[in-house]
Copies of this chain bind each other. A is one copy, B any other.
């Protein structure tokens, strides 16, 4: 960047909020994508302190044709916030104010840079809660919307798009739009807000969001139910949903994956027998309601081949179970290449998981698998090291090629079953070469037409989700 440009940018965001040194830029070169191979240094990192400054930075980039990549908490798993060549990172970390919790209408309005952990805490203080829950509470509110982050509670409560009621977003020309409000319903023109959800910073930069909230459940209960096979576990979930019982969350975990997390944390998963567990979170407005639901879950599970039904006693034990489940990803990560994120019709889970383990045997790399049993979202972690009873071992020879083949096999199987290649992580850089194969060339053509209409100069996070001009290989550090 020329000194003139640097001076201009510094005049917008202030002396200390423009980073130029490679060591300062490095943390902004990547997200949490497992392999760590997707990374690229930006030319600069600008940290605006207000929406007006965001708009000025975007106008600066538009005037000069400089790519600008919005960055939230950097917790993404698809490389969506990895900078473009020669581009600027616009970090939203200074837009970190919780603006308004409206206890009458059950909404919370925050700037885009508020971490979800802070949002959850603020809501809880008011006796309210935000149902969608991404795996990493360091994710920023704006990023959760921009990447359509999911979480475990979609079956009972729906995903982020159900709870997003308002948004402010800076467009490619540096103007800001104020969309929605504190409203549960609107049929007032095109749903621009829904178009922004999951657009990964390619159509606009979200600066503020309003979410609707629900009353905090007075009572929560966690159950762990082991099964001999994943097939039995999935069939039991279907029976439960048929009965009209919809838990807050229904996770499935293979015990082989749980072992790794147990080792990392030195904690013990309550179920020992069988190959897989279901983990239920039940919530409700009083103890009686939740205990009634727990009894119903237990009876349906026992009638469908459960080896046991374990109810966590006390908050500490519940927290421990959730921690073991949520740390699987971290436990596997040191030896992982990629975390897959396919979404399927939920009845397809057992056959898909069977196919995953065929690929495991065929290619000789471990593929521990877990996910959201009731909403069909399956996570398989592709490994470059062996795993022995929860302990990561040595690097597997030729893992790169094996991994590519496993990915092709997993995507092909998911698509054949009516699924998609991303349920909640997004496309970003790491999946863009597979988008058209999944949704079809025509759909991608329509997406590109919308991109061109909203960002004619192509400055907003170019090269993510798709390339406007032909495919590009993801950059490797």
Question: A residues engaging B (CB < 8 A)?
Answer: 102-107, 127, 147-150, 154-155, 158-159, 161-162, 171, 175, 177-179, 181-192, 194-195, 197-199, 203, 214-218, 238, 241-246, 284-285, 288-289, 292, 296, 341, 343-347, 372, 375-377, 418-427, 431, 435, 438-440, 442-444, 446-447, 449-450, 452-454, 465-466
Q: In whole angstroms, how far apart are the Cα atoms of A367 and B446 in the complex? A: 44
Provided the pairs A175-B442, A190-B198, A195-B195 are in contact, do residues A161 and B159 lie with their beta carbons within 8 angstroms?
A: no
A241 to chain B, nearest CB (A): 6
9 A-B pairs in the complex with CB atoms less than 8 angstroms apart: A105-B376, A147-B187, A148-B187, A177-B440, A185-B424, A195-B450, A215-B244, A288-B292, A449-B454
Say yes or no: B189 contacts A191, CB within 8 Å.
no
**A418 with B182, Cβ < 8 A, contacts A161-B161, A453-B450 known:** yes
How would you classify the secondary structure of chain A's contact residues: helix, strand, loop or mixed? loop
* 10 nearest A-B residue pairs (beta carbon): A194-B194, A215-B244, A244-B285, A453-B453, A104-B347, A185-B423, A182-B345, A184-B375, A188-B420, A449-B453
Name A186's closest neighbour in chain B (CB-CB).
Answer: B420
B-side contacts of A421, CB under 8 Å: 188
A347 and B105 in contact, given A244-B216, A288-B292 (Cβ under 8 angstroms)? yes
Closest Cβ–Cβ distance, residue A423 to chain B (whole Å): 4
B182 touches A127 (CB 8 A): no
Residue of B nearest to A199 (CB): B190
Query: Are B194 and A195 in touch, CB under 8 angstroms?
Result: yes
* 14 more A-B residue pairs beyond the given contacts A103-B242, A192-B447, with a C-beta to C-beta distance below 8 A: A104-B347, A106-B241, A150-B185, A171-B442, A178-B440, A186-B420, A187-B341, A188-B427, A188-B435, A191-B195, A195-B450, A214-B244, A214-B246, A289-B292
With A197-B194, A288-B292, A450-B450 already in contact, the answer to whether A466 and B189 are too (CB < 8 A) is yes
* Complex contacts, A194 vs chain B, CB 8 Å: 161, 191, 194-195, 197
CB-based nearest B residue for A107: B345
Name A184's closest neighbour in chain B (CB-CB).
Answer: B375
A337 to B296, CA, bound (A): 52
- Report how far A215 CA is from B444 CA in the complex, Å: 35
In-complex Cβ contact of A189 among B343, B419, B435 (8 A) = B435
Report yes or no: B190 in contact with A218, Cβ–Cβ below 8 A.
no
Q: What's the minimum C-beta distance from A164 to chain B, rounded to whole angstroms?
A: 11
Contacts of A450 in B (CB 8 A): 190, 195, 450, 453-454
* Cβ contacts under 8 Å, A102 to chain B: 345, 347
CB-CB < 8 A to A292: which residues of B?
288-289
- In the complex, the chain B residue whose C-beta lies closest to that of A150 is B185
B420 and A183: CB pair below 8 A? yes
* Chain B neighbourhood of A246, CB < 8 A: 214-215
Which residue of chain B lies nearest to A165 when distances are taken between CB atoms in the complex? Answer: B345
Q: In the assembly, what is the distance between CA of A344 and CA of B183, in Å?
A: 6
- The answer for the CA separation of A418 and B107 in the assembled complex, in Å, is 13
CB-CB under 8 A from A218, the residues of chain B are: 244
Contacting A376 at CB < 8 Å: which of B148, B183, B203? B183
Q: Max chain B CB contacts within 10 Å: which of A217, A241, A245, A296? A: A241
Q: Which of A158, A244, A346, A421 has the most CB of B within 10 A?
A: A244
Assembled-state Cα–Cα distance A440/B189 (Å) = 11
CA distance A322 to B419 in the complex (A): 40
Query: Which residues of B have CB within 8 Å of A346?
Result: 104-105, 184
* Docked complex Cα distance between A285 and B427 (Å): 38
Q: Does A177 contact B446, Cβ atoms closer than 8 Å?
A: yes
Known: A215-B243, A246-B214. A439 touches B104 (CB 8 A): no
Q: What are the residues of chain B within 8 A of A199 when measuring CB–CB? A: 190
What B residues does A344 contact at CB under 8 A? 183
What residues of chain B lie closer than 8 Å to A438, measured between beta carbons? 188
Q: How far is the CA of A292 from the CA of B285 in the complex (A)?
A: 11
In this complex, what residue of B is CB-closest to A466? B189
